[in-house]
């Protein structure tokens, strides 16, 4: 079922999507993804996992700078994914992208126990919303250029044994698309990460229109993402190597 929502209601829904308990947040994980196109640096993504009350919040700041020499502006995108801290059930999503003078906001609004959700879109303050039926099981959000959303998929699959596993993904776009994807376990692969080599679990994830690969660290977080068809690659930045202090002479 699809229902159009009036524009004034969309602003209220945007606020509701980000409503969380007023408690201090505890950082679970944070880091940086480096994005490459044709092996050339394209941008960065700073991300964080935090808990506050009964919520798990995944946030990101995406900065892509294609080619300033040719007058191309920096793309900035802020994202917040809100989940239940207990079972990672989706509670809300919002991203705001600023590029070439335009401001685009995308969001999802869900209530506890809802069987439907609202997807809304705004361009420079004007937009629309659709009311959609929530599919059974876990639904993963995919938003262009936000790679911590794939990291969350990796963490959700961590510790689960399978040859193939179905995934329900809601891709924000024009139009939004609900797709059934498949994750295929390709075994372990040794990859360099910082100053060490990691035996990462490699998965291939395909849907009717795309195919990409992820490499997952032993603790479940995503080390690498790759979509060869578009020459895109994402690497999680390794922590800096701590140098040992030299003993003082004398």
- Give residue-wise pLDDT tens across range 69-128: 555 678 999 999 999 999 999 999 999 999 989 999 999 998 767 789 999 999 998 999
Q: Does 206 have pLDDT greater than 70?
A: yes
* Helix count and strand count (H, E) for the chain: 2, 16
> Is the four-CA dihedral 130, 131, 135, 139 of positive or negative sign?
positive
pLDDT of residue 47: 97
| DSSP per position, 200-241 | EEEEEEEETTEEEEEEE-TTS-EEEEEEGGGTEEEEEPPPPP
pTM metric for this prediction: 0.85
Q: Does 4 have pLDDT greater than 50?
A: no
Calculate the alpha carbon distances from 164 to 72, 180, 203, 219, 248 in Å: 41, 13, 9, 21, 57
pLDDT tens for 235-244 read 999 987 666 6
What's the mean pLDDT in 173-177?
89
Q: Does 22 have pLDDT greater than 90?
A: no
Beta-bridged to residue 30, according to DSSP, are: 48
pLDDT band at 12 (very low <50, low <70, confident <90, very high): very low
Q: Which two tokens stand for residue 64?
A: 């892509």
Q: Which two tokens stand for residue 248?
A: 């003082």
Nearest 5°: phi and psi at 118?
-110, 130
Distance in angstroms (rounded) separating the CA atoms of residues 34 and 46: 9
Count of beta carbons in the 10 Å neighbourhood of residue 146: 24
DSSP 8-state code for residue 74: P
Q: Are 232 and 64 in contact (CB under 8 A)?
A: no
Domain ranges of the chain: 3-236
pLDDT of residue 89: 92
pLDDT of residue 16: 39
Helix (H) or strand (E) holding 165: strand 164-171
Neighbour-count burial for 75-110, b at 16+ CB within 10 Å, e otherwise:
bbbebbbbbeeeeeebbbbbbbbeeeeeeebbbbbb
Residues in the chain: 250
């Amino acid at each position: 079922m699809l229902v159009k929502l009036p524009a004034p209601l969309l602003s209220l829904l945007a606020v509701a999507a980000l409503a969380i308990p007023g408690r201090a947040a505890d950082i679970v994980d944070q880091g940086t993804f480096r994005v490459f196109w044709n092996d050339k640096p394209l941008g960065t993504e700073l991300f964080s996992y935090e808990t506050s009350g009964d919520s798990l919040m995944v946030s990101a700041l995406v900065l892509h700078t294609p080619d300033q020499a040719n007058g191309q502006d920096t793309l900035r995108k802020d994202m917040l994914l809100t989940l239940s801290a207990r079972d990672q059930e989706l509670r809300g999503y919002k991203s705001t992208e600023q590029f070439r003078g335009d401001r685009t906001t995308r969001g999802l609004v869900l209530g506890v126990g809802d069987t439907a959700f609202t997807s809304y879109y705004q361009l420079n303050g004007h937009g629309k919303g659709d009311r959609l039926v929530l599919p059974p099981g876990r639904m993963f959000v995919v938003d262009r250029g936000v790679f911590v959303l794939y990291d969350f998929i990796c963490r959700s699959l961590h510790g689960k044994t399978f040859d193939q596993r179905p995934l329900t993904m809601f891709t924000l776009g024009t139009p939004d698309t609900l797709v059934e994807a498949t994750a295929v376990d390709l075994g372990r692969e040794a990859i360099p990460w910082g100053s060490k080599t990691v035996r990462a679990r490699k998965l291939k994830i395909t849907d009717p229109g795309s195919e990409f690969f992820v490499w997952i660290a032993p603790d479940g977080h995503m080390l690498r993402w790759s979509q060869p068809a578009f020459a895109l690659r994402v690497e999680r930045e390794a922590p800096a190597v701590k140098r040992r202090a030299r003993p003082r002479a004398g």
